[in-house]
Every structure is written in structure tokens, then in C-alpha cells.
Amino acid sequence: MSKSDYKGVDYYNLDDLYADEEKAIRGTVRDFVDHEVIPIIEKYNQEMKFPMHLIPKMGELGLFGPTLPVEYGGMGINNVSYGLIMQELERGDSGVRSFASVMSGLVMYPIYTYGSEEQKKFWLPKLATAEKIGCFGLTEPDFGSNPGGMITKAEKVSDGYLLNGAKMWITNGTIADVAVVWAKLDGKVKGFLVEKGTKGFSAPETKGKLSLRASVTSELVFEDCLIPAENILPKSSGLKSPLSCLTQARYGIAWGVIGMAMHCYHTALEYTKSRIQFGKPLAAFQITQEKLAYMLTEITKAQLLDYRLAQMKDNGTMRPQHVSMAKRNNCELAKTIASMAREMLGANGILDEYPIMRHLNNIESVKTYEGTHEMHTLILGEDVTGFAAFE
Amino acid sequence: MKIVVCVSTVPDSTTKIKVGGSGKSIDEAGVTFIINPYDEFAVEEAVQLKEKNTGEVIAVSFGTDRAKEGIKKAFQMGADKGILIKAASDDFDSYTVAKNLAAVIKDLSPDIVLFGKQSIDFDGLVVPKMTAEFLGMPSVNVVTKLELNGTDATIEREIEGGKETLKAKLPLVIGAQKGLNTPRYPNLKSIMASKSKPIEEKAAIDEPVKSSVLEMNLPAAKGQGKVFSDGAANVPELVRLLREEAKVI
């Protein structure tokens, strides 16, 4: 009875490749999204609020940091399962998926990878249950695609580190209990944990967003913010540390946006089958069928790209450039599919009765954050030519 | 507390059913099999009873290998052990199922046995009652509320136009109706834990069927609807058709 009628899109029988627990995890998140996210999300999106009440439920389901080992509060799941979680969450909303992505890929991953044993033991189990919320600060007002130019700096003082600078476009910033902040210490990028309430630290919310409205976006401001010496991430070293976190987040996006594309395709398919014009369903027109065939084919290609990416991530052969290809391709197709679906629904496509316009607005952010389309193009370009166009 | 929950595995409720080549069963190509939806209420109740009273939940199913799907779902929701009574073929009826379930459950000596009120594939509605009879246990079906106090059970069940409250002694057989509880979404922890829970296989007892399928047919396709577009002028004709043709007024 808790089953969803939504069956996803599986034209190439990928379910034959997924293990029992991978399908079960997807099923649980799908049910959660059907019952807890979709019925309420339009309201939160319009009111520009994040549905805070979902956080403990997602924690109880085990959706934060699930690939980490059990001893740190993780679930020890593989990257196919993780990808399927992201796919289902983003069918609900990019803001909800972003919350989970940030917790797993941008907060728990760096603490697990670059943190001390004490930091890992203290923070990870609390983040896994969402008793504590985290955010990640890398981008600055003047340094987006070029994070290496960051101005935020840390200075060693007798009782810890003094942070000065500002970060921008930070998901969860205002609601976070802990921020993973990247700053230059003696010219070299290092990670620091800044706790909510630390003197000299504020996180005002960004207003006026027309995209990712059901998500908290903030600025992080550090003015002579003194943090204890033990709050440095000891194993972090240089720009490659935060970039490795972005690889995790981009991986989640590459899967997540397929969920969005599936939702738009599914909505357009059902709508055009039932909407009658000139005495027959829109779906009976060749021009509609061409669009549906395109959408289905692109979704299927993206699924195959992600499935192979997951295998490579699990067996340790995945490179960041592989993730760039999937993030770049899948965001592009999700944007195209959302836009096509909007047109196929005609005037109804702009109403909040359908998810299309919200997804279409959201993909503008998702295509831009965690590396713009252009940056991923240049990353792939550098990988095959050996010439870095952005240096 | 020893809790047995009987689960069956059925075609997904959104499946478009086709009759197979034999004309006696469905064409299983492309069909997704799931736990019987009413059994989810039974499993949830079983797991809640375990959480309140401690003990163990044993999921029992009769069928072919496919019946493992239902047991696996019960594992994910929190059942501890599984037993598959392995049917040699698909040729069984409600009597065979109940006889086999009773034989296995008897040896388990449970405090309570839970079923879904019916399975949504064949809608026989008799397996819970028949199993209870073979076990010599009292049984109540279509249950929407269950309260235990020691070995005393207070049970609410749906009846036409209302509800009925009954009392019975454990051990007892219960058939769960929608409304008994809200089945949980299995969390990742229990899904991962379910991977290491073993399913014990037992051979079915050789019990001849009491009934067998002669043929299976889909319902007749719906006819074309009638559209009346002349407003009030059509009302007399509409009323006549509703009375004489549709026979609904």
C-alpha cells in the first residue's frame, strides 16, 4: 500500500543489472519522495523555504553519508545505491537533493578524508543522523570557476587560527551547525571546521532567488573569526582537497538530474496521452512522438553513463574527468528535457500543478554549480589535448 | 515473543495482466513481483510487536523461488528469519497453501500468526482462516486494530457499515486490513542488514489440490461511452437509460 505508481524510466532494463539492495534502496527513497516531498514541495518552493521537517526523516532513512563505513555512522553502501538515492531525491526537488549532496559529498566526505580521528568520531555520526547540519564554503564573491584565487585566509595565532574573508552561494549556510571552510594558510589552501556561533562568523541568507527556492543559500562572512587549533582538517593539503569534494558532489548531480529528467519526461508522456486536440491525443502527433523519443533516448544514455561511472567509482578507476563528462552531459540533457516538457504541456506547463517549471528553474542552478558546463568542457578539453585553456 | 508473519508474492498492482499460453495462468514476461500489499500491514504489525515485547519475527512463505521476494521485503522491514516452503510447481490452491503453512507454523509454536487479509492476485480470502483451523487457533480477519495484554488480545475488525470489537486468547491468527498501521519505509540500515538474513528452504508436503484452474479470462473490454450534448433536453433519455440499460437507478 505504500507502493508508488511511479516506476521510473527503464527502457534498457537496467533493473537487470541492479542488485536487490540497490533496487530496495531506490524503492525506499522513491516512496519517501512520493509521500513526503512531492505533496508539499511546490508550497515550500513558492514560499522560498527549505522543508526542515524532512531532515530528521532523511537522517532516519540513512541518506546522509551512506557510503561511509558503519563505524562512522555510514551504511557502507556502494556508489550505484548512492547514485539511485540522488536520482530519486532530485525527482522530488533539486533543493532536497542538494541538501543531501552537501551533507554527504561536501561535509562528511572531507571530514572523513581529511579530518583527524577525533573530528571523524565526533562529527560523522551526528551528521549521519542529521543531529548536526553541515555546509561547505569554497566559492567566493569574486572566485567561482577559479577557486584557486580565493582571498579568504587563515592566520596562525597563539590560541588557534584567525579567519578573514567571505564565501558565497553556500547551500545550508544559515542552518548549518558546522561549516567546512577552505582558506589559504601561508598561501596554501587548507580546510577548517567553523562552528555555528563562533565569534566573528555570520551566515546571512541569500534573498531573491528564482531557482532552488526550496533550499537555503547563504553567504559566510569571517571577520577576525578565531577558531581552535584542533579545528583544522589536518590531512587537507592544497586546492586538490576541496576539488576532490567537488568530484563527490558532481557525481551525485550526474545521477540526480536524471531523476529530474525522468519526472519531466513522465509528466509530458502522461499529459500528451490524455490531452485531446483536433480530436486526438497530443501523443498521437508525430511532432510529440519525436520529442518523447528524444527524451527517452537521452535519459537512457545518461543512465548508462552513470551506471558505468558508478562501477568505476566503486573499483577505484574513476577519474575526476569522468565525472565532468557525466555532470556536463546530464545537466545539459535535463535542461533540454525540462524545457521540452514545458512546451509540450502548453500553457499548463507554467502552472505549479505540474513540476516542470520548478525543475526548469532549478536546473539553471544545478547546471551552473559544482562546475559550470563551460568548465567541464574545458576539463575534458584539457584531458584529451593536454592544453589547459583556463590557465 | 515468537511472531510468525505469512507473506505472499504477487504481481505489482499496476501490472497490465495478460493470460499466458496455457490459458490457465498469467503471462509472467515483464511482470514485476512484489510483496502482497496487505502483507505489508501484517509485517509492520509483527515488527511493532517485536519492538514492544522483544522476541523474533519469522516470515514464512509458500511458493516457488519467486516467493523469496516477499520474504526479502519482510527482512527489509525488520523480520529476523525466513522460511520458504518450496512448491514443486505452480499447481497449488488455497488448501495446499494453508496445509503447508500450518505444518511449518505448528513446529514453530508461535504466540501469534499474522497474515494480510487477502492476497491481491487470486483474492481467495481463505488462507488465513484455513491455516488457523489446521493449527487449531482462533482467528480474526480484516483487522484494523490489535492490542495485546499478556495472552489476551482485543481486536477491532471492519464489518459492513461499521466495526466490531472482539477478544481472543493467544496463540491467535490475525488477518491485517489497511488501517491497522502505516507500513514503514525500510531504512538503509535494515536494507543492508537484510542481506545477511538467511532464508531456510523446506520441501512442501505432498498434498493434492482440492481445486484446479480450468481457464483464465480477462474481463470484457469496456464499451464506448454515450455522450449527451443537448443539455436539459437529454435528461428524460438519460434517466431512461440509467434505469433500463445500466439498471443503476
Per-position pLDDT tens, chain B of length 249? 999 999 999 998 888 889 998 888 888 888 889 999 999 999 999 999 999 999 999 999 999 999 999 999 999 999 999 999 999 877 889 999 999 999 999 999 999 999 999 999 888 889 999 999 999 999 999 999 999 999 999 999 999 999 999 999 999 999 999 999 999 999 999 999 999 999 999 999 988 889 888 999 998 888 778 888 888 889 998 999 889 888 888
Residue B101 to chain A, least CA–CA distance (Å): 24
At A7 the pLDDT is: 87
Nearest to B76 among A24, A62, A77 (CB): A24
Looking at residue A16, the DSSP 8-state letter turns out to be: G
Q: Which residues of B touch A (CB under 8 A)?
A: 12-14, 34, 37-38, 40-41, 72-73, 76, 178, 182-183, 185-189, 191-192, 194-195
Task: Determine the residue type at A390.
Answer: F
At B122 the pLDDT is: 86
CB pairs under 8 A between A and B: 54
Overall average pLDDT of the A36-62 stretch: 98
- Chain A residues within 8 A of B37 when measuring between CB atoms: 1, 3
Q: Do B178 and A20 touch (CB under 8 A)?
A: no
Closest residue of chain A to B15, computed from CA coordinates:
A5
Q: Do B185 and A31 touch (CB under 8 A)?
A: yes
Contact A192, A183 (CB under 8 A): yes
Overall average pLDDT of the A143-172 stretch: 96
Looking at residue A370, the DSSP 8-state letter turns out to be: S
In angstroms, the CA B222 to CA B198 distance is 46
Q: Do B14 and A5 touch (CB under 8 A)?
A: yes
**Please, which residues bridge with residue A164 across strands?**
A153
Residue B195 to chain A, least CA–CA distance (Å): 7
Q: Do B188 and A61 touch (CB under 8 A)?
A: yes
Q: Do B41 and A1 touch (CB under 8 A)?
A: yes
Task: Report the phi/psi class of residue A85: left, alpha or beta, with left for phi > 0 and alpha for psi in -120 to 50.
Answer: alpha
At B246 the pLDDT is: 83
Task: Report the phi/psi class of residue B5: left, alpha or beta, with left for phi > 0 and alpha for psi in -120 to 50.
Answer: beta
Q: Which residues contact B82 (CB under 8 A, 6 or more apart)?
A: B58, B59, B60, B61, B68, B71, B72, B74, B75, B197, B198, B199, B200
Residue A48 to chain B, least CA–CA distance (Å): 28
At A248 the pLDDT is: 97
Superfamily the domain B2-203 falls into: HUPs (3.40.50.620)
Residue B170 to chain A, least CA–CA distance (Å): 28
Residue A12 to chain B, least CA–CA distance (Å): 12
Q: Looking at the predicted structure, is the pLDDT value of residue A1 above 70?
A: no
Nearest to B187 among A2, A3, A61 (CB): A61
Q: Given the C-alpha cell 580521528, which residue does it identify?
A: A117
- Chain A residues within 8 A of B13 when measuring between CB atoms: 3
Residue from B45, B185, B194, B199 to probe the interface with A (highest A Cβ count within 10 Å): B185
At A2 the pLDDT is: 44
Overall average pLDDT of the A58-68 stretch: 98
At A4 the pLDDT is: 58
- Chain B residues within 8 A of A3 when measuring between CB atoms: 12-13, 34, 37
Q: Looking at the predicted structure, is the pLDDT value of residue A3 above 60?
A: no
Looking at residue B214, the DSSP 8-state letter turns out to be: -
Q: Which residues contact A39 (CB under 8 A, 6 or more apart)?
A: none
C-alpha closest to that of A362 among A261, A292, A269, A250? A261
Give residue-wise pLDDT tens across range A234-292. Answer: 999 999 999 999 999 999 999 999 999 999 999 999 999 999 999 999 999 999 999 99
Contact B32, B12 (CB under 8 A): yes
Nearest to A61 among B41, B185, B195 (CB): B185
C-alpha closest to that of B84 among B5, B206, B200? B200
Nearest to B188 among A1, A31, A77 (CB): A77
Give residue-wise pLDDT tens across range A179-234. Answer: 999 999 999 999 999 999 999 999 999 999 999 999 999 999 999 999 999 999 99
Q: Is A370 a catalytic residue?
A: yes
Nearest to B185 among A7, A32, A76 (CB): A32
C-alpha closest to that of A36 among A4, A11, A76? A4
Residue B39 to chain A, least CA–CA distance (Å): 9
Closest residue of chain A to B72, computed from CA coordinates:
A20
Closest residue of chain B to A24, computed from CA coordinates:
B191
Phi then psi for A68, rounded to 5 degrees?
A: -75, 160
Strand boundaries in chain A, DSSP class E: 134-137, 153-157, 160-171, 178-185, 188-195, 201-202, 217-227, 276-277, 280-281
Nearest to B37 among A1, A24, A60 (CB): A1
* Grid cell for residue B126: 481463505
In angstroms, the CA A231 to CA A181 distance is 10
